Homo-oligomer: A and B are copies of this chain.
Amino acid sequence: MINSEILKKKRLGGRLGDDEIFHLIEGLKNGKTDDLQITAFLTSACIIGLSPDETTALTFAMRDSGMKFNFRHLGKPVIDKHSTGGVGDKLSLLLVPIVSACGVAVPMISGRGLGHTGGTVDKLESIPGFDIRPDEKTIYRLMEENGCFMSAQNDFIAPADKKLYHIRDITGNVESTGLITASILSKKLVEDLDGLVIDMKTGSGAFMKSMAEAEELAKSMKTVAELCGVKISVLFTSMDQPLGSKIGNWLEIEESLDALKGNCPPDIREVTLALAAEMICLAGIKPDTESARKLAAETWDSGKALSQFHKMIESQGGSLEEGTKKYASHYEFEYKAPRSGIITSMDTTGIGIAGIILRAGRQNIDDEIDYGAGIIMEKKIGDEVSSGETLARFRASDKELFHRAKKRMDESIFYCQEKVDSPKLILRAMK
């Protein structure tokens, strides 16, 4: 097979065979495929699209570009969750301890913040000492001892995905249902999963602004996951406002810890239990979501999930006490409501960007994050505020940033005079 002929076939609208896609991706390892050739493939895929079979072949080829775990010897169902990303979305930090404490093996490989959204890896990295890149041996030990681990994408996990992602980023080829599907699933399939729950976020703080886009991606993920032999369940959840009240890496660790201790904002509680129930159901531990939800709530309320959270963090070298000390000296700024009224909606992307202005996230790929920086929201959609009342608090290690962040917040919160219902959190499920 000659790469340029495979590429020409795809460019002219032909469907590539599994062998042709494998040949292209496999060639990245041995230098037989040039990065320029992968770029041509990605551009054609983005313009013309990928069939489910092509997406599946690409997913497998990307998965097989690195090592693959085998957790069969654990004798447990292996389930993971993927979120399409949001603002204040710290649910992985709750789901891993809750669901693993229910007897499910949860091997979670996460990503960094992307655009205006936070990433689980960045949040974990805010915990002093936490090893976000455990080696293969450590991962197997953690799975045996804790039934879970949380890790960044190591160099040995789907390295082709890492390369393809970089190329898509610099060549304007990000938005492609097939390529997004293959990117997400290839990393997840490395984890030797039985099932995967997708938290498909829609709304003003999500990448998928409309339900139609979210549904297209969900259908593609479902088709390909099933062709790959992985059970999948998709929950469509709202990202019309930040989840919980805290946005920022260490702030979200704090809020997760508080939540597991029983002091949990109701939106976090509702979405976490819904996702946990899906994971437990897929694992086959409970026959329906109602009983699975009950088991998750009991595990949470009994303190078992909290112990599991502490165990997980300590096993990976993290110290929550050190974190509390480390970020205590950040400056705080009270963001006051610029007018009176009822909060009718939020540009949640804008709030995420206000957080980035405070250096809670990256503006450019190589920016350094201030792990202690962020925003604490005191109000939600539907709340009534008076002009000058504290609506949020900013944290930063540089006071100069507060002014720009304030300006962005002013543009991101909208008010009216009538009563507003708070948005529905769980929109629908696709099984």
Question: In the bound complex, do residue A167 and residue B36 qualify as a contact, i.e. CB atoms below 8 Å apart?
Answer: yes
What CA separation (Å) do A132 and B44 show in the bound complex? 38
What CA separation (Å) do A296 and B39 show in the bound complex? 50
Question: In the bound complex, do residue A8 and residue B172 qualify as a contact, i.e. CB atoms below 8 Å apart?
Answer: yes
A173 at interface by CB-CB < 8 Å: yes
Question: In the bound complex, do residue A36 and residue B37 qualify as a contact, i.e. CB atoms below 8 Å apart?
Answer: no
A5 contact from B34, B36, B172, Cβ within 8 A: B172
Q: Mark A44-57, 1 if CB is under 8 A from B, else 0.
A: 10111000000000
> Across the two chains, which residue of chain B brings its CB closest to A5?
B172
Q: Which residues of B contact A172 (CB under 8 A)?
A: 3-9, 11, 40
> Across the two chains, which residue of chain B brings its CB closest to A9?
B172
Q: Which residues of B contact A44 (CB under 8 A)?
A: 43, 47
Shortest CB-to-CB span from A75 to chain B, Å, is 45
Q: Can you tell how many copies of this chain the complex includes?
A: 2
A417 at interface by CB-CB < 8 Å: no
What CA separation (Å) do A43 and B44 show in the bound complex? 7
The A106-149 residues at the B interface (CB cut-off 8 A) are none
Q: Which residues of B contact A37 (CB under 8 A)?
A: 170-171
A314 at interface by CB-CB < 8 Å: no
Apart from A34-B170, A36-B39: 16 A-B pairs, beta carbons within 8 A: A4-B169, A4-B171, A4-B172, A6-B172, A8-B173, A11-B47, A11-B172, A11-B173, A36-B167, A37-B170, A39-B39, A39-B171, A40-B42, A44-B47, A47-B47, A47-B48
What CA separation (Å) do A44 and B173 show in the bound complex? 11
What CA separation (Å) do A286 and B268 show in the bound complex? 86
Shortest CB-to-CB span from A153 to chain B, Å, is 21
User: Lowest 8 A-B CB distances belong to which pairs?
Assistant: A8-B172, A7-B172, A40-B171, A43-B43, A39-B39, A4-B172, A40-B43, A36-B39
Known: A11-B46, A47-B48, A48-B47. A40 touches B4 (CB 8 A): no
A-B contact pairs, 25 of them (CB 8 A): A3-B170, A3-B172, A4-B171, A4-B172, A6-B172, A7-B172, A8-B173, A8-B174, A11-B47, A11-B173, A34-B170, A36-B39, A36-B167, A37-B170, A37-B171, A39-B39, A39-B40, A39-B43, A39-B171, A40-B40, A40-B43, A40-B171, A40-B173, A43-B47, A47-B47
The A1-26 residues at the B interface (CB cut-off 8 A) are 3-9, 11
Q: Which of A34, A35, A39 has the most CB of B within 10 A?
A: A39
Q: Mark A155-167, 1 if CB is under 8 A from B, else 0.
A: 0000000000001
Q: Which residues of B contact A174 (CB under 8 A)?
A: 8
What CA separation (Å) do A170 and B24 show in the bound complex? 13
A43 contact from B9, B11, B175, Cβ within 8 A: B11
Q: Which residues of B contact A34 (CB under 8 A)?
A: 170
Q: Which residues of B contact A175 (CB under 8 A)?
A: 8
Shortest CB-to-CB span from A205 to chain B, Å, is 22
What CA separation (Å) do A48 and B36 show in the bound complex? 19
Shortest CB-to-CB span from A206 to chain B, Å, is 19
> Across the two chains, which residue of chain B brings its CB closest to A13?
B47
Q: Which residues of B contact A167 (CB under 8 A)?
A: 36
Q: Which residues of B contact A171 (CB under 8 A)?
A: 4, 7, 36-37, 39-40
Q: Which residues of B contact A173 (CB under 8 A)?
A: 7-8, 11, 40
What CA separation (Å) do A39 and B7 show in the bound complex? 12
The A170-204 residues at the B interface (CB cut-off 8 A) are 170-175
Q: Which residues of B contact A8 (CB under 8 A)?
A: 172-175
Q: Which residues of B contact A43 (CB under 8 A)?
A: 11, 39-40, 43-44, 47
What CA separation (Å) do A56 and B247 show in the bound complex? 50
